[in-house]
Amino acid sequence: MLQATPEWQTAVCGYEARADWPPVTVLMAVHRGAAHLPEQLDSLTDQQHKNWSLVASIDGEDDGSGDILEAHPSAARITRIAGPGRGAAANFLHLMREVEPGSYWAFSDQDDFWLPHKLGRAVERLEDMPWNTPAMYHSRSLVTDVGLDNHRLSAARPRPPSFANALVQNIAGGNTIVLNPAASRLVHAASHDVEDVVVHDWWLYQLITGAGGTVIHDDAPSLLYRQHGDNLIGANDGMRARASRLRMVLDGTYKTWMEVNLAALQACAKHFTPENRSLLRRLVIARHQPLAVRMKMLRNVGIHRQTQFASSVMWLSVILGRL
């Protein structure tokens, strides 16, 4: 199944399993996941970090996913709850509200395959952060076909994470995200402030950076990302993804996303630093100004994306009034 490649194998070879790992709670949103859920659960069971538990929120009609969770050898570590029935983003938001904070949190899709070092490597990186500073780890992925073959490394992130970037771009794949205890407490509290988010990982990136927390990007992949027709958004790289992003600007989808995001951010802005509350307020005001004023204000805000192409698409949305 997994062919070792120098691109990632060298990067993770220094990792060593430990016996004293802190507890990690895995939050998994499930919706008709029976086809690939067993492999995902097996990869979780095979983690070198053994001190984990799983909370699975089952959304909508159960296709047997509940039975798979109950029958799995790791069932004693698994708690099942009912989802809200409003899609993946709402289901993850539901998990953030329902799960007790204060431990490390990891977010899981139902159809990936975690590499054995995933949890341990993330916790190891997060342990370097001050205990009271919210910190979020995320990594690249090995994008595969539905059979977990034909691996390719997901896109690099050349610019440092920041709130000014998070306002206009998501760089964190939710299935790779792990939060330290301070971040899980922040996320749990803020999740009660918001009604809706576009996708949970984008909101997490915005919240952690907005609150002055630390975001750690790992160039080494932590999982096999199964690319198939049922993925909500997809791997978000390549020419097809570029065309899709451009189309979303032109048809107004991106503007709608921005409006949902900004409503959520304004609802939880009490958790932000004063500087980032000001940044958010200036962005909200700038979006409704005439073009020349809008361009000047947004340049002063400092919003940016990771690549030249992505930044060009962003500024096109500004010019068209669709940011």
Whether residue 221 is found in the same domain as residue 247: no
Query: In the listed set 206, 226, 246, which residue is the last one of a domain according to the structure?
Result: 226
Task: Convert 167-205 to b/e letters by CB count within 10 Å (16 or more is b).
Answer: bbbbbbbbbbbbbbbbbbbbbbebbeebeebbbbbbbbb
Domain boundary among 181, 205, 226: 226
Per-residue pLDDT tens digits for 15-57: 567 778 999 999 999 999 999 999 999 999 999 999 999 999 9
Helical residues (DSSP H) of 107-250, grouped into ranges: 118-126, 163-166, 181-191, 200-210, 238-250
Residues 129 and 250 both lie in one domain: no
> pLDDT tens digits for 141-178?
999 999 999 899 999 999 999 999 999 999 999 999 99
The verdict on 244 and 193 lying in the same domain is no
Instruction: Report whether pLDDT(1) > 50.
Output: no
Together in a domain, 219 and 304: no
13 belongs to a structural domain: no
pLDDT digits (tens, 9 = 90+) for 196-209: 999 999 999 999 99
Domain assignment present for residue 57? The answer is yes
To 10 degrees, the CA torsion angle through 186, 264, 262, 154? 60
Residue 163 sits in the same domain as residue 27: yes
Q: Do 83 and 114 share a domain, yes or no? A: yes
Residue 196 shares a structural domain with residue 310: no
pLDDT digits (tens, 9 = 90+) for 79-94: 999 999 999 999 999 9
Residues 74/97, Cβ–Cβ less than 8 Å: no
Instruction: Report the mean per-residue pLDDT for the chain.
Output: 93
Average pLDDT over residues 121-134: 97
| Residue 219 domain flag | yes
221 and 306 housed in the same domain: no
- Return the minimum-mean-pLDDT range out of 6-15, 65-74, 276-285, 289-298: 6-15
Within 10 angstroms of residue 57's Cβ, the number of other Cβ atoms is 23
Q: Are 140 and 70 in contact (CB under 8 A)?
A: no
Q: Any idea of the CA torsion for 179, 180, 182, 188, to the nearest 10 degrees?
A: 30
Give the pLDDT confidence score for residue 62 in this predicted structure: 79
For residue 10, being part of any structural domain is answered with no
pLDDT > 90? residue 232: no
Q: How confident is the model at residue 8, as a pLDDT?
A: 46
Does residue 172 share a domain with residue 304?
no
Q: Determine the structural domain holding residue 141 and report its residue range.
A: 22-226
Single residue among 202, 226, 250 that ends a domain in this structure? 226
Give CA–CA dist 38/67, Å, rounded: 11
309 and 190 belong to one structural domain: no
Please check whether residue 132 lies inside any domain of the structure.
yes
Q: In the predicted model, is pLDDT for residue 7 greater than 50? A: no
Per-residue model confidence (pLDDT) at position 78: 98
pLDDT value, residue 6: 42
pLDDT at site 20? 86
Domains in the chain: how many in total? 2
pLDDT at 11 over 90: no
Percent of the chain with pLDDT over 90: 86
Q: What is the DSSP letter of 105?
A: E
Model confidence at 262: pLDDT above 50:
yes
pLDDT at 94: 99
Is 185 within the bounds of a domain? yes
Residues 156 and 57 in one domain: yes
* Residue 140: CATH number of its domain: 3.90.550.10
Q: What was the pLDDT predicted at 234?
A: 52
Dihedral sign for Cα 123, 219, 4, 36, please.
Answer: positive
Structural domain contains residue 3: no
> Is residue 304 located within the same domain as residue 283?
yes
In degrees, to the nearest 5, what angle opens at C-alpha 265 toward C-alphas 285 and 244? 85
C-alpha 36/C-alpha 260 separation (Å) is: 31
- Residue 99 belongs to some domain of the structure: yes
